[in-house]
Amino acid sequence: MAEVERRLRLSKRNIDGLAATGKRVIYWDDELAGFGLRIEQSGSKTFLVRYRPGGGRNAPKRFLTIGRYGKLTPEEARNEARRVLSAGELGMDPAAERLRRRKEISVADLCDLYLELGVETKKPQTITGDRGRINRHIKPLIGGRRASEVTTGDVEKLMKDIASGKTHADFKTGLSRSRVIVRGGKGAATRTVGMLGGIFSFAQRQGIRTDNPCRGVKRYPDGASDRLLNSTEIAILGAALSKAESDGANSSAVNIIRLLAMTGARRNEIAGLQWEEVDIERGCLRLKDSKTGAKVIPLGAAAIHLFDMLTPTSTSPYVFPASTGTSHFQGIKRIWKAVRCNAGFPDLRLHDLRHSFASIGLASGNTLPMIGALLGHSSARTTARYAHLADDPKKIAAHRISGHIAEALGVVDSANVISLHKKTSR
């Protein structure tokens, strides 16, 4: 990754005023040579020091991470930088010593190091999921092993143990009447091994290992599967939503579900939407942040009409504010469960509405690139998962073309062509 280097007095006031620029930037202190602050694309700020063991121009440059800003004050980091620079002048190599110690760390310590230094580009929700898999599966099973000694066989055993339910647990979270039940299973095993592979890739970048023991492990197929709704089923879901609303269900939950179906957006993009992100005049949502960063979601006329019917509150910036507190509405899961069961789709996930949006879009004749643009995919490879659904528009086109030709040839009349088209395009 290309870096930009600048000079600045690294004081608390100046550091607080620094923001992410879309590039990795290193600010070198203009008072203590070799002391710096690195700002990642995500905005995270980390102190570091650059030195030459033994001094002199011919000595190789070494870089050593000191710690995160916030956990360390500028003065604490400056003092640590002075210590490292002094050791370097005396011919010592603190970076090499740290690497030697890290090669002896346990998997549990490696996981903690990863959560401290290896998740700078991840979203908070993703980090929360990583931390859960680490604490509930990885640490209990292999946390005490040396990170440098874990083998592919160890990873395969970990996967099988999670799949068989060895890490099953039921415990309180500390919140009132709130519990977490860890069941394990093949899906959890597959996702945990995938994340563990990322941790060992981090270990490779840190010089702790030269290989990744997760590479080559044959994982279970992820149990999550898409349930695609067709237009008729969408209508059934709409009726269930209307009934839930008339029966007194929370209107925020009902309207969030409607917007998820109409926009193909992700749950948190709608549930956490703020009014300043809603651009009715231009017919779009301008999200400040999402899974793929800032993005624009185009709105159809029906979605715009729904937003017109909503009334902003003077006390909350959110389109769907919580009934108490300052956050956005959080109670969608309970209402969604009732709605999907009443509609006759007990296994339907909220995220399936996004996939159904793509499916119906393709069936309407839209292209994969257009669907990718509407869903905000950052890569064409992500949209390619819907390629098999694109057969439907091809069939529709084939019916239309062959129908016109057949009519010209006198094989069938136009009424039969229309009837055939309706029958095959359901």
The model's pLDDT over 236-271, given as tens digits with 9 standing for 90+, comes to: 999 999 999 999 999 999 999 999 999 989 999 999
At 333-363, the pLDDT tens digits run: 999 999 999 999 998 999 999 888 888 887 7
For the chain, the average pLDDT equals: 85
pLDDT value for 147: 93
Per-domain boundaries in the chain: 3-101, 107-205, 231-351
pLDDT over threshold 80, residue 169: yes
The reported pLDDT for the residue numbered 244 is: 94
Angle at 197 between CA 191 and CA 202, to 5 degrees: 135
> What top-level class would CATH report for the domain 3-101?
alpha beta
Higher pLDDT, residue 384 or 190:
190
Mean pLDDT of 407-426: 50
Q: What is the fold of 231-351?
A: hpI Integrase; Chain A (1.10.443)
pLDDT (tens digit per residue) in 151-162? 999 999 999 999
Question: Per-residue confidence at 394, pLDDT binned at 50, 70, 90?
Answer: low
Same fold, 3-101 and 231-351: no
pLDDT band of residue 419 (cuts 50, 70, 90) is very low
Weakest-pLDDT range from 202-216, 295-309, 322-336, 370-384: 370-384
- pLDDT value at 425 more than 60: no
Instruction: Provide mean pLDDT across the span 313-325.
Output: 88
